[in-house]
Structure 1
Amino acid sequence: MLQLGDEVTLYSVVFVLVLLGTRSPLWTTGLTASLYLFMAMFRFPQVPSSRAQQVLHPAKGTAGSGKVSVVAHRGGGHDAPENTLRAIREASKNGATGVELDLEFSADGIPILMHDETVDRTTNGSGPLSQFRLSELGKLDAAAKHRLRDKFAGEKIPTLEEAVEECIRLQLIIYFDVKGHPDEAAAALKELYKKHPVLYNSSIVCSFEPKVIYRMRQSDPEVVTALTHRPWSLSRLGDGTPRFSSLWQHHWFALMDMVLDWAHHHILWKLCGTSAFLIQKNFVSPDYVQYWAQRRVEVVAWTVNTKVEKEYYQELLQVNYITDSLVEDCEPHY
């Protein structure tokens, strides 16, 4: 949780800003006190650090060095078709500590592995995922657009249950990346943890959406969780180019980015009681790692894809990282 210095700074800043806006000491005191009470009443505590460490730094050997965990992004989408059982098996074979898997839902409400809202990019199908029932998804080739499509031809889109069972069999840590659907995702994951209690010590639920993580903690406060964040995500695309051609739109969303970034680092992580913070690799530094270490929060960098980058995160920063490939350099997926 926040250190004393953080709390003093946070509420002092809020007090000054509200005072400047309202010019009323009474209103200022009341609003600042309300924020303090809200945080005190509705925040979730972090899970015990010993259990978070089991998930983030398991005893199982890794492809990294020392205590660094190496996590295959989407199962290792460069080495095998992303979010498939074959990708999970390849990641294990190549020495991954764990796999990051994307949770989505079929039209009939079955939890499956899929990153996009459409099936176009990764399969031989076309159209919104929300229009495909599980039986229809089963007819698609999940390797159709992969660079090694001939080697993995016919690979299917797995259900979440199938993927979890495979990860448990291979003793892989699972990073569940929840794209949205907070209520549905929390309910599905709660049932999954109930069916497979081993997940409490071998998985972490992550999302860009704080609402997802908060809803997960409401459903099951024992689950290890993490917020995922990329600064400037509202105003810029993953490669750094502006998201909007309109100058006023760009500056407006850049301002919103600053507010969102501040909220992630000072309020949202504490409200959700997260144990880790997944951050885009370009924003990780020794000082940044230390900032979160003081708050008992682990930093996990994504997406780290070159040999030089991997050595930097393993040897110098000694933080966990997520990669598209465990065997070669490649271009990152954003």
Structure 2
Amino acid sequence: MLQSGDAVVLYSVVFGLVLLGTRSPVWSCGLAISVYLFLAVFKFPQVPDSRARQVLSRGTGVASGLGRASSIAHRGGGHDAPENTIAAIRQASENGAEGVELDLEFSSDGVPILMHDDTVDRTTNGSGPLGQISFSELSKLDAAAKHRLREKFAGERIPTLEEAVEECIKLQLSIYFDVKGHPDQAAVALGDLYRKHPVLYNSSIVCSFEPKVIYRMRQTDPEVVTALTHRPWSMSRRGDGTPHFASPWKHQWMTLLDILLDWAHHHLLWKLCGISAFLIQKDFVSPDYVQYWAKRGVQVVAWTVNKDVEKQYYQEVLQVNYITDSLVEDCEPHY
């Protein structure tokens, strides 16, 4: 339910901005009421809290009150094995992960596959954008070619989404589907998978940086547990904090958009999409932040938590799930 504080902030901001722009109380009231009606008509309700907790607490003691957080292998655990591969999923299970985060992309001929980037250059021995490479060509690439343990995992191939899901089901791992884009295509592909494997309703969650992806997924199947992913300042700065743009004017403009996006995530988009979890970059998580979302029926998941001391903090103090690149040792984050 939209908290009273959220409602006051949301409608006050709409009223104030329109009043500044038009100097008309009538227009300001009209737009604020329109936003209220839009949310009332088009927002999706959250899935039942009991089922969301079942998904997010799968394999842990959180649901029974024991307060143990889940460790989720980022891209299958990209430090411990080649990211987004069957080998990574198996290695994550062996290393004690409760779940895996997997990136959904598509080949040029529309086959759903696991891949983080929109090109194959960084992780394979191939080159070029995914949108120009068929699955038959992708299946010939070595997905371990650029990995630090390339010799151990030589010849590992890019898996289809279905192959990865079937492996996760077999190993009883929860799945965080990170959808990189293609809202319509992704919703169809995931919708088909949920119908084919109903166990996913209680063992997986669909996540994305793009609210349109999550909204489209809820339209396709409102029973799917979903989450928004967010990193403050993501439009103006890279993951390591360096600016995206050399132009000071463009940097300032993107910084302003970052502020607006952050506000929208916390006061509007989460409600519109009816999310059950909020995936946030670890540097912005605190006890107060966890409580902010808990009051809204939303669980926080932190990423990417790669130091043992940080993992202990999330497990013992915050008691929230965290996504990590490695289950076995400290490492630098994979951006």
The aligned residue for residue 26 of structure 1 is 26
The aligned residue for residue 79 of structure 1 is 80
Distance (whole Å) between structure 2 residues aligned to residue 309 and residue 4 of structure 1: 34
Deviation at 1:237, TM superposition (A): 0.7
Deviation at 1:138, TM superposition (A): 1.0
Distance (whole Å) between structure 1 residues aligned to residue 78 and residue 250 of structure 2: 34
User: What residue identity is the alignment partner of 1:302?
Assistant: W
User: What residue identity is the alignment partner of 1:192?
Assistant: L
Deviations 1:157-181 (A, max 9, x none): 0000000000000000000000000
Conserved? CA contact 2:302–2:323, under 8 Å? yes
Conserved? CA contact 1:61–1:97, under 8 Å? no
The aligned residue for residue 273 of structure 2 is 272
Deviations 1:30-69 (A, max 9, x none): 111111100110000000000000110014579xx84301
SS class of match (2:233): coil
The aligned residue for residue 213 of structure 1 is 214
Distance (whole Å) between structure 2 residues aligned to residue 12 and residue 124 of structure 1: 54
Identity of aligned residues (%): 79
Conserved? CA contact 2:306–2:332, under 8 Å? yes
SS class of match (2:50): helix
Distance (whole Å) between structure 2 residues aligned to residue 136 and residue 14 of structure 1: 50
User: What residue identity is the alignment partner of 2:189?
Assistant: A
Conserved? CA contact 2:60–2:69, under 8 Å? no
C-alpha spacing 1:98/1:257, structure 2 compared with 1 (3 Å): same
User: What residue identity is the alignment partner of 1:174?
Assistant: I
SS class of match (1:310): helix
Distance (whole Å) between structure 2 residues aligned to residue 146 and residue 20 of structure 1: 54
The aligned residue for residue 247 of structure 1 is 248
SS class of match (2:177): strand
Distance (whole Å) between structure 1 residues aligned to residue 295 and residue 226 of structure 2: 18
Distance (whole Å) between structure 1 residues aligned to residue 226 and residue 78 of structure 2: 23
Distance (whole Å) between structure 2 residues aligned to residue 90 and residue 286 of structure 1: 32
The aligned residue for residue 233 of structure 1 is 234
The aligned residue for residue 175 of structure 1 is 176
Distance (whole Å) between structure 2 residues aligned to residue 154 and residue 19 of structure 1: 62
Distance (whole Å) between structure 1 residues aligned to residue 12 and residue 23 of structure 2: 15
The CA RMSD over aligned residues, in Å, is 1.2
User: What residue identity is the alignment partner of 2:162?
Assistant: E
Distance (whole Å) between structure 2 residues aligned to residue 289 and residue 100 of structure 1: 21
Distance (whole Å) between structure 1 residues aligned to residue 13 and residue 127 of structure 2: 50
The aligned residue for residue 187 of structure 1 is 188
The aligned residue for residue 291 of structure 1 is 292
SS class of match (1:237): coil
Deviations 1:152-203 (A, max 9, x none): 1111100000000000000000000000000000000000000000000000
Deviation at 1:287, TM superposition (A): 0.8
Deviation at 1:5, TM superposition (A): 2.4
Deviations 1:221-244 (A, max 9, x none): 000000000000011111001111
Deviations 1:240-271 (A, max 9, x none): 01111111111111001000000000000000
Deviation at 1:19, TM superposition (A): 1.6
User: What residue identity is the alignment partner of 2:166?
Assistant: E
What does 1:1-334 correspond to in 2, within 5 Å?
Answer: 1-59=1-59, 66-334=67-335
Deviations 1:59-104 (A, max 9, x none): 4579xx8430110000000000000001000000111010000000
Distance (whole Å) between structure 1 residues aligned to residue 60 and residue 126 of structure 2: 38
Distance (whole Å) between structure 2 residues aligned to residue 8 and residue 126 of structure 1: 51
Distance (whole Å) between structure 2 residues aligned to residue 136 and residue 116 of structure 1: 17
Deviation at 1:2, TM superposition (A): 1.7
Deviation at 1:13, TM superposition (A): 2.6
Deviation at 1:134, TM superposition (A): 1.1
C-alpha spacing 1:188/1:217, structure 2 compared with 1 (3 Å): same
Deviation at 1:14, TM superposition (A): 1.8
